[in-house]
Structure 1
Amino acid sequence: MAGIYIHIPFCKQACHYCDFHFSTNLKNKQLMIEAIKQELVLQKNYLNEPIHTIYFGGGTPSMLEASELNDILDTLSANYNVTARPEITLEANPDDLSERQLEALKSIGINRLSIGIQSFDDEVLKFLNRAHNRVQALDCMEHARNAGFENISIDLIYGIPNRDHKKWLEDLDKVIAMNPEHISAYCLTIEPQTAFGKWAKKGQLKPVEDDYSAAQFDTMISMLNQHGFEQYEVSNFCRDGFYSNHNTSYWQQKAYLGIGPGAHSYNLESRQYNIRNNQKYINSLAEGTIPYDIEYLSKNDIINDYILTAIRTKWGINLKKLEGFGYRNDTDYINSLLTNELAYTEKNNLILTTAGKLLADKISSDMFLID
């Protein structure tokens, strides 16, 4: 099951926490669309297997008109073996989701929305520098349902500096009431090159303590589980098997193709990294060249990739599969995880407990093989 990720590198404004590649300058939007289409044509032999998932990420893909997205989808369909019912996801911001736009998106085949609400509180939204407000955040679900969308994911952020947990509890109550099929919730991370990173360096922003964000993580798991959401990955919850098929393929080491500036590709043997510069990307594709760097994966890279992704999921690390890669299990370390109730084993799978999920990155790092 292969997937294609298409990076749309445009945003209305820069969120204070975001370090993804984007531009607020839309002057070259049409040239970017043509470059993306050109890369799709040039990369058509990269996967050589049916395409089951298509994911428009960014940036803010919902800034494009449905006709522009359809133009990209037409190029993709003409050059790839796309299955009859692919999962086609569009990341969207609430302020872009008018009833007219939603109807147009549905008509071109978008069948899954990932809506970046982040919070339902106007004060928090202003702090994050989001472009939408509370009313738009609450209205977007009703509009999407009226347009016929039956697979909707909501993004939230926790670990935001506040006096107490009240705003987070209110956000959880509201998202549960909206009844989406999927929820992704991420702890606020202060990245160096973002506005928050610069404020933190100057002492103008103090990140929350680990115990504060851990308490919100525990509360989230408890509340979402009580309301029928399954935690199938550290940051992802769904109802009735509504997994993100596209993201699940990442966690299960399936091949994928990344299109657009800043996009990554993976074919089980190497990774490609497209240049993070819109103008250079456009210029290079106009000359028929894809501007990327490539990294060929060593045996240890492949093992470490498996550990890093699998350990975050409800399926965990298959220890037999790990041995098949040539990994020699550190029995003492694994036993320490079990003894400290950070993990448990089930049918040869090492699966993290709730306490272990808080330490997922450290545990995977401890298990890595170093060349």
Structure 2
Amino acid sequence: MKTHAIIPIFIPHLGCPNDCVFCNQKVITARMSPLGKDDVKDIIERYLPTLSNRGIKIVEVAFYGGSFTGIPIKQQQEYLSVAKWYKDQGLIQKIHLSTRPDYINDEILTNLKQYDTDIIELGVQSFDEEVLRLSNRGHNRESVFRASKMIKDYGFELGLQLMIGLPGDTFEKSIESALETVKINPSIARIYPTIIIQNTELANMHQRGEYAPLTLDEAIKTSKEMYRILKNSGINVIRIGLKSTDIINENGQVIGNTYHPAFRQLVEAEIAKEDLEKQLQEIINSSQNLNKVHQNSTQTNTQNNTQSDTHIKYLPVICFYSNETSLSYMIGNKKSNKLYFEKKYPHFHFTFNVDPSLNNQTYRANIKY
């Protein structure tokens, strides 16, 4: 059951001084009316009735889409005062915002503290100086370390957002960014593959042949390894890949095959496949089990003109287990893992089962004869 809900409030990039190559927010902002206090209130009022009586324990008002702390301080206070009122009434539990590393200082953090802000996410994207420069981020890696330390020192919950596949990026650089993130030790993190959106400099670079996006397989591989690093260090990776609503908010048409609507499931499924295959290999490499597999395989192969159901009856059964939440990851997007194991290991029959005692993203395999 879902116990955490977000009320997203999209703030145009009024405060962002930069033109990152992957972003078209300056174009969008020029077409949008500024958000006022009443607009923020209306958004919250629309969401709250949909969240009642659903067992939700934590509701966050989250200001997304821009460098929140870059907008004029008075405007920040107007937005935050609305969110704080709902928090003071117990109608929401947290206030959440995102911004740039170079838009953090004592004045800004003192103001956010005044309005009882809880979570500050930094759009870091990369810790590699060349990637930051080629992406026209306008800040360096040192500003990330400085801002992260200040946010934690003030007692806020810190989040870091990373992007893979930016200009100049490599698999090794992305892994290094994950390792640098571990050193900072934020509470939460996000991993986003770079999406090419129309009306961006990145789209122009792609058209000129100066930029090639990651393939889907490359993006899955990189995200998977980064996710393992972050998760194993106790960092909660709250998102992998963009939602369709993120694309809508960017108001951009995606170019090429750089977006997949179920990207996190693809990454999680690949992790489940690797974890289960490792256990399966341990089962196969056990001499006792291996002998039984050979015996059963021989018996099956001697059956002439055997129907498929009869064939399965003689195969050793590999039972894979996950909890209910992780079942779709274990089976894979469009049953990709099920098909993978059945094709690669034809001398086994595979079942995918629920074990409620297992933690999320934890998998178990055993064999039955």
CA shift digits 1:38-63 (9 cap, x unpaired): 32455565233568210011222121
Instruction: Report how many residues are paired.
Output: 276
| Counterpart selection for 2:148 from 129, 141, 147 | 141
| Counterpart selection for 2:109 from 102, 109, 128 | 102
> How does 1:136-285 map onto structure 2 within 5 Å?
136-149=143-156, 151-162=157-168, 164-229=170-235, 231=237, 233-235=239-241
Residue 17 of structure 1 contacts residue 195 of structure 1 at CA under 8 Å; is this kept in 2?
Answer: yes
Once residues 347 and 170 of structure 1 are traced to their aligned partners in structure 2, the CA distance between those partners, rounded to angstroms, is: 35
| Counterpart selection for 1:54 from 34, 49, 61 | 61
3-state DSSP of counterpart to 2:36: helix
| Counterpart selection for 2:134 from 113, 120, 127 | 127
1:219 aligned partner, one-letter code: E
Between Structure 1 and Structure 2, the one with more strand by share is 1
Between Structure 1 and Structure 2, the one with more helix by share is 2
> Is structure 2 residue 11 aligned with structure 1 residue 8?
yes
Once residues 18 and 28 of structure 2 are traced to their aligned partners in structure 1, the CA distance between those partners, rounded to angstroms, is: 8
After the TM superposition, which of the residue ranges 185-194 and 173-182 deviates more from structure 2? 185-194
1:338 aligned partner, one-letter code: K
1:54 aligned partner, one-letter code: V
| Counterpart selection for 2:122 from 102, 110, 115 | 115
Between 1 and 2, higher relative CO (CA 8 Å, sep ≥ 6) is seen in 1
3-state DSSP of counterpart to 2:163: strand
1:246 paired residue number: none
CA drift of 1:76 comes to 4.8
1:88 paired residue number: 95
Aligned CA distance change for structure 1 residues 112 and 128 (closer, same or farther; 3 Å) = same
Aligned CA distance change for structure 1 residues 128 and 172 (closer, same or farther; 3 Å) = same
3-state DSSP of counterpart to 1:216: helix
CA drift of 1:72 comes to 2.0
2:254 paired residue number: none
> How does 1:352-371 map onto structure 2 within 5 Å?
none
3-state DSSP of counterpart to 2:209: coil
2:165 aligned partner, one-letter code: G
> How does 1:20-99 map onto structure 2 within 5 Å?
20=25, 32=34, 35-42=35-42, 45-47=45-47, 48=49, 52-76=59-83, 82-83=89-90, 86-99=93-106
Q: TM-score, normalised by structure 1?
A: 0.60
Q: TM-score, normalised by structure 2?
A: 0.60
CA drift of 1:141 comes to 1.0
CA drift of 1:172 comes to 1.7
Question: Structure 1, unaligned stretches of length 5 or more?
Answer: 237-249, 252-261, 265-272, 277-306, 320-330, 355-371
3-state DSSP of counterpart to 2:23: coil
1:138 aligned partner, one-letter code: F
Identity of aligned residues (%): 21
Residue 19 of structure 2 contacts residue 26 of structure 2 at CA under 8 Å; is this kept in 1?
Answer: no
Once residues 139 and 169 of structure 2 are traced to their aligned partners in structure 1, the CA distance between those partners, rounded to angstroms, is: 23
CA drift of 1:346 comes to 2.8
Aligned CA distance change for structure 1 residues 164 and 131 (closer, same or farther; 3 Å) = closer
